[in-house]
Structure 1
Amino acid sequence: MDWMAWTVPTAIFFSTIALTIVVFTVLAIRYPETPRVGVLRIETTRGDRLFITLLGSAFITLGWLAAFGAPLWGALIACLVYALAVFRWV
């Protein structure tokens, strides 16, 4: 896989997403959930909220890169706060 230029941060990123999906699958099997309605006024499940979080985090990170550049620690903090808000209120 030399053509993909895998680096340690890239491998950690994709491994974390894969692990998160596995954990959410196990949670869905072990603890079935009924959809709930949040501030968006749509029914969402854990998986829906995870998807909304991942999509929003991508946009937050891209916006951070456009505005501030390479050190992404601030974007990471913003994404974590966003994820907590999505899982709490959406």
Structure 2
Amino acid sequence: MAWMAWTWPTAAFFAVIAALLVTFTVLAVKFPETPRRGVLGIETTRGDRLFITLLGSAFLNLAWLGFGIAPQPYALIACLVLAAAVFRFV
């Protein structure tokens, strides 16, 4: 993997994503769930809400970077608020 410039933040990002996927897989096996209907009007599972959160966080970070709202690490706080809202209301 010498062709890619791996930095600690890049490795941490992929490690967190991998840990999330493993955690949600274990949760799905141990605690099966029934889909629920939220504010979007569609049935979602934990995995669906995780996907919506990751996709929303990507767009939020791109907008944060593009508009230069504040230093980029503060976007993490906005992403955590987004994740809490998605898992609560969607």
Give the TM-score category using the shorter length: over 0.9
The match for 1:22 is: 22
Quick one: which amino acid aligns to residue 6 of structure 1?
Answer: W
Go from structure 1 to structure 2 and tell me whether the alpha carbon gap of 1:10 and 1:52 turns closer, same or farther (over 3 Å shift): same
Query: Any gaps of 5 or more consecutive residues in structure 2?
Result: none
Go from structure 1 to structure 2 and tell me whether the alpha carbon gap of 1:88 and 1:10 turns closer, same or farther (over 3 Å shift): same
The match for 2:36 is: 36
The match for 2:12 is: 12
Q: TM-score, normalised by structure 2?
A: 0.96
- Cα offset for 1:73? 1.9
- Cα offset for 1:70? 8.0
Query: Any gaps of 5 or more consecutive residues in structure 1?
Result: none
Q: TM-score, normalised by structure 1?
A: 0.96
Percent identity over the alignment is 70
**Per-residue CA distance 1:41-66 (angstroms, 9 max, x = gap):** 00000000000000000000000000
Give the secondary-structure state (helix, strand or coil) at the position aligned to 2:26: helix
Cα RMSD (Å): 1.2
- Return structure 1 stretches of 4+ with deviation > 2 angstroms: none
Quick one: which amino acid aligns to residue 9 of structure 2?
Answer: P
- Cα offset for 1:2? 1.5
Quick one: which amino acid aligns to residue 23 of structure 1?
Answer: T
Aligned residues, how many?
A: 90
